[in-house]
Structure 1
Amino acid sequence: MLRRILSGVLLVVMAAVVPVQAEAPRNVLVLGRISDDPQAHYEQLKPLLDYVVARMGDVGITEGRVLMARDIQQMQSYLRRGRVDWVTETASGATLLEARAGAVPLLLTERNGVSHYHTVYFARRDSGIQSLDDLRGRSIVFQNRQSTSAYFVPAAELLARGMKLEILLSPRDEPEPGSVGYLFARSELNMSSWVHKRLVDAGAMSNLDWASDRRVPPSFKRDFVIFRESAPFPRAIEIVRGDLDARVRARLREVLIEASADPAAADALRSFFRTTAFLPMDAATRAELDALGVDASRVVVDVE
């Protein structure tokens, strides 16, 4: 059993680096994920994929595979060439794949009972920062380039105020006057630590991460002030490639929606990033995605 698991992980890691040469057979459902840790994500994705595949025989699906991409550019290539059928993504990532690769949003993903969250902007109480405008000529720390709450949303809000964003070489680097310097810290604990140590002036993360004592220790939080909170947006989205067989798409949607009421799916959902439900896309969620799509595209064009 261990040998089989390790072999599967090895194949997934290789797939993240070596392009797949042939489109998957029609009986195979391929679940994709943008990942910087293929082994860990494989273990999170595979149980739910197995659960889904076992319930899709009536539409010809008998096998499931996981395929990782190193970044959004590689994932959009996989979608365009039919290498991936279903992708679990952040809301901003989903909108970029919809625009660039013709992906179709399928369901809203609820995790730990939460379907929406928002961005919290914070700084030290003694920093003098009271609004986004006070960040001109100062620095802010983001998490990584894939994060909706800790990159795309705050970057877009700064751009909307006419601010120029420039990446800094290190926390000791300083932005040009009138612009906002930014860095990536990778983890929320690093973000809160950098702000607390005055290595950067401000940070932006989700309200869920802000509420975590592990990510923002109480000893730090006592010295912080929240100076802005964004509007809410979807936490995660399940998308499918645009030319996926309509019967497969419909059955996948049905199985995922029904999973939260099936005790047999409990462990698989828990592994799948603590998912508690897959929810139908309503008009409000579609409008939120449209707005995020505009913002994400602007960040890609103006910042990257």
Structure 2
Amino acid sequence: MLCARHLCLVFVRAMSERLVQANGATAPFAGRTSRSVVSRLRCAMAALVLAGACIADLQARPFVIGSIANAPSTETTLYYPLAAYLGRNLTEFGFSSGKVTVAQDIPGLINLFNAGLIDFYIDSPYALLAVSQASGTKVILRRWKNGRPDYCSIIVVRKESGITGLADLNGKLIAFENDFSTSGYLLPKLALQASGLSLSEYHDGSDHLGATSIGYIFSRDEENTLVWVLRGRVSAGAIGTHEYERFRPAERDQLHIIYQTAPIPRQLVSVKKDTSAPRTARIRSLLIELENAEAGRKLMANLEDTTRFDDIPADAEQSLAPIRAHLSRSVALTER
């Protein structure tokens, strides 16, 4: 941007010198004519400099945070302050402001990344790593959402159900949250499959539950999952410990946890694949330093009670291996 302005100045000054020399050699009253030409050229130079500034402003673009949600306006309100903060502090990389772009599903966000329309993405491990595998985004940090660095997935049943282990779920129905939830779908599904159990998606009223497999349906919300278990619509439900703990003790007292996974990072942070090393380092620094200032802590608090961004510990990185392996198998099957 500065280079364009500099070139304008060099060009105008060169033209000024040539015109002055020409007038000084041939025109009567050369001094007066030269001063007139110089004056006009200075005005032209000022206009060009202003034009260069305008062009530079037009070249600056917003720093875009991508997300997945069915309610774009809610997601935009949530992430815009962070996008604006990053955009304001990344001016040396051509950014000037912030923006949030919301996709309806994982494939939609992958397409946006591949089109170069997204710079940054925060989500739970399954969704974020799925996007990363398909678009090449780079995982750079962990996010402490709701003040938690990690969480587990659990499978719950009603206490009086007689279900005491995973094998007892054969011939029964389990509720998952949605097909891109880490704790409410992928981790419990992998655990059931690792135990030698088979699963098939169940559609109300149209499918028969076999005695040797587990049927599953999507509740679309973790609260729905527990309500369905409590009301007997399903025999079991998968949910994250962070969500389970938010329910009233009276409700939790009616439930029994029959399975719990190892902890995994609460959320991860990624940047698009062509983000330069200096820009990545700057983004990391801006996020890690948020907890050191009152304004930064306030910004994080308004972002779903985030308390910290930090490096991913080795044990946390290792906990992501089953998810990465699952995604690799899925890609291999797709490419057959």
Shorter chain as denominator, the TM-score bin is 0.7 to 0.9
- With over 3 angstroms needed to count, the CA separation of the structure-2 counterparts of 1:257 and 1:291, relative to structure 1, is same
Partners in 1 of 2:330 and 2:241 — Cα distance? Answer: 21
- With over 3 angstroms needed to count, the CA separation of the structure-2 counterparts of 1:198 and 1:111, relative to structure 1, is same
The aligned counterpart of 2:177 is 143
Higher RCO structure (Cα 8 Å, ≥6 apart): 1
The aligned counterpart of 1:84 is 118
User: Which structure features the higher share of helix residues?
Assistant: 2
Q: How does 1:25-104 map to 2 (within 5 A)?
A: 27-104=61-138
Residues 1:294 and 2:325 aligned together: yes
Q: TM-score, normalised by structure 1?
A: 0.84
Q: Is the 8 A contact 1:53 1:62 kept in 2?
A: yes
Q: Is the 8 A contact 2:64 2:119 kept in 1?
A: yes
Partners in 1 of 2:329 and 2:183 — Cα distance? Answer: 15
Q: How does 1:255-294 map to 2 (within 5 A)?
A: 255-294=286-325
Partners in 2 of 1:296 and 1:118 — Cα distance? Answer: 19
- With over 3 angstroms needed to count, the CA separation of the structure-2 counterparts of 1:128 and 1:69, relative to structure 1, is same
Partners in 2 of 1:85 and 1:25 — Cα distance? Answer: 16
Residues 1:164 and 2:198 aligned together: yes
Q: Is the 8 A contact 2:145 2:304 kept in 1?
A: yes
- With over 3 angstroms needed to count, the CA separation of the structure-2 counterparts of 1:181 and 1:31, relative to structure 1, is same
What is the CA-CA distance between 1:283 and the residue it aligns to?
2.4
Partners in 2 of 1:298 and 1:97 — Cα distance? Answer: 15
Superposed CA deviations along residues 116-158 of structure 1, whole A, max 9, x for unmatched, are 0001211011212111111111111111122110111011111
The aligned counterpart of 1:211 is 245
Superposed CA deviations along residues 18-37 of structure 1, whole A, max 9, x for unmatched, are xxxxxx96643211001111
Q: Secondary structure at the match of 2:100?
A: strand
Partners in 2 of 1:275 and 1:295 — Cα distance? Answer: 28
Partners in 2 of 1:285 and 1:270 — Cα distance? Answer: 23
The aligned counterpart of 1:3 is none
Partners in 1 of 2:173 and 2:281 — Cα distance? Answer: 46
Calculate percent identity across the aligned residue pairs: 28
Unaligned 5+ residue runs, structure 1? 1-23
More displaced stretch, 121-130 vs 266-275? 266-275
The aligned counterpart of 1:247 is 278
Consecutive aligned runs of 4 or more in structure 1 exceeding 4 Å deviation? 171-174, 296-302
The aligned counterpart of 1:195 is 229
Partners in 1 of 2:254 and 2:205 — Cα distance? Answer: 20
Partners in 1 of 2:331 and 2:159 — Cα distance? Answer: 32
Say which of 228, 232, 246 aligns to 2:259.
228
Amino acid at match of 2:323: L
Q: Is the 8 A contact 1:143 1:186 kept in 2?
A: yes
Partners in 1 of 2:240 and 2:60 — Cα distance? Answer: 39
What is the CA-CA distance between 1:300 and the residue it aligns to?
8.5
What is the CA-CA distance between 1:46 and the residue it aligns to?
0.5
Partners in 2 of 1:212 and 1:111 — Cα distance? Answer: 14
More displaced stretch, 134-143 vs 170-179? 170-179
Q: Is the 8 A contact 1:45 1:271 kept in 2?
A: no
Q: Is the 8 A contact 1:260 1:277 kept in 2?
A: yes
Q: Is the 8 A contact 1:59 1:247 kept in 2?
A: no
Q: Secondary structure at the match of 1:62?
A: strand
Aligned length: 276
Partners in 2 of 1:244 and 1:300 — Cα distance? Answer: 24
Unaligned 5+ residue runs, structure 2? 1-57
What is the CA-CA distance between 1:230 and the residue it aligns to?
0.8
Q: How does 1:95-134 map to 2 (within 5 A)?
A: 95-134=129-168
Partners in 2 of 1:170 and 1:251 — Cα distance? Answer: 50
Q: Is the 8 A contact 1:152 1:295 kept in 2?
A: no
Partners in 2 of 1:278 and 1:254 — Cα distance? Answer: 10
Rg: which structure is higher? 2
- With over 3 angstroms needed to count, the CA separation of the structure-2 counterparts of 1:174 and 1:125, relative to structure 1, is farther
Partners in 2 of 1:219 and 1:112 — Cα distance? Answer: 23
- With over 3 angstroms needed to count, the CA separation of the structure-2 counterparts of 1:123 and 1:222, relative to structure 1, is same
Partners in 2 of 1:55 and 1:238 — Cα distance? Answer: 18
Q: CA RMSD in A?
A: 2.2
